[in-house]
Amino acid sequence: MARFDFVQMDVFSREPGMGNALAVVLRGHTLSDRAMQSLARWMRLPETTFTGPAGDTGKAPASCYAIRMFAPDKEVLFAGHPSVGTAAALLDADLLTPDADGLVWQQGLAGLLPLRVEHLQDPNQRVISLRNPPANEIEGAAVTHRDQLTAATTGLALGAMAPVLAEGGRRWWLVQAASEAVLRQWSPAWDGIGELAVASGSMGICAFAFADDADSGYQVVTRALVGHPQPFEDAASGAANAILASILFRHAAEHLPATGYIVSQGREIGYDAQLYLSPGADGAIWSGGQTRTAIRGSIDWDAAAP
């Protein structure tokens, strides 16, 4: 039985319990693949990550780390909130130091990826953002899936932007609601969303609206509705919001601050996450947010557990 330092992070949250939960096993790279998977299954959180030293990356060792990500049922190639939360956990444990450009580098199954570390006006408030590639629109998808899209948006008054199927690592339908109030009050048509997700090979619908109140502290509201295999509403989706931001900066930039915007997500299911989205000079999108450490301690686990 081996003992490892362990933290549970609250990601994309300013207040306790309002963001996405993440388990991080520090220096957990010595566990076997089977032991990592069995621990993630037992945790029953969206993801559990295991950190270790990075291989030969060409970056300074102090700014680079290796990561493995596991959902309860399988290893995950890449996900946004585990990337942000793991970097925060390593920074807090003094196991990671940003380079001269304020970047740290994550080495995982998806390759070597940069994360940006910034401090807000309050030095105790830190935002960690992940670089996401530009999203691509799937031309003709709204016509091909017209009937399924209509069923999936039953009861939702739509906004001015036509629904778009976009891909940026994963596929999401981007659907604008007529207003923030309309979006927050909508009861999702889950059967239709599930059928649409399967038919289009997508995660489901990322419904959005621009904020009704200019003084609300955020500019965009989103609801990420996963349709398959298990329908659920995500409390805070970095990937869905990054795809949406890529399309919005392309087609609706007049509604957004040029330097970036803040998203409110999760209130409809009892959370209150905030995500920060900003454009990069190369067309990439940086998505991230604040984090909180909810639990610190150690975990005992069989290094070769079945």
Look at residues 188, 191, 190, 205 and name the one whose alpha carbon lies nearest to residue 141.
205
pLDDT at 120 over 90: no
Confidence at residue 133, expressed as pLDDT on a 0 to 100 scale:
84
Pairing of strands 261-265, 220-226: parallel
Closest CA to 81 of 290, 298, 294, 297: 290
Q: What share of the chain is helix, strand, coil (3-state, %, to 5)?
A: 25, 35, 40
pLDDT digits (tens, 9 = 90+) for 265-287: 999 999 999 999 999 988 899 99
Chain segment 100-114, per-residue pLDDT in tens: 999 999 999 989 999
Instruction: List, in sequence order, every residue forming a beta bridge with 5; answer none if it has no partner.
Output: 298
The tokens for 168 are 């940026």
The CA–CA distances, whole Å, from 90 to 61, 157, 159, 165, 266 equal 13, 44, 41, 35, 26
Instruction: Round to whole Å and give the CA distance between 69 and 86.
Output: 10
For residue 93, report the phi and psi dihedrals to the nearest 5 degrees: -90, 5
Can you give the pTM of this predicted structure? Answer: 0.92
> How far is Cα 38 from Cα 84, in angstroms, rounded to an integer?
23
pLDDT digits (tens, 9 = 90+) for 184-241: 999 999 999 999 999 999 999 999 999 999 999 999 999 999 999 889 999 999 999 9
* 46 cis-preceded (ω within 30 degrees of 0): no
What mean pLDDT is reported for the chain? Answer: 95
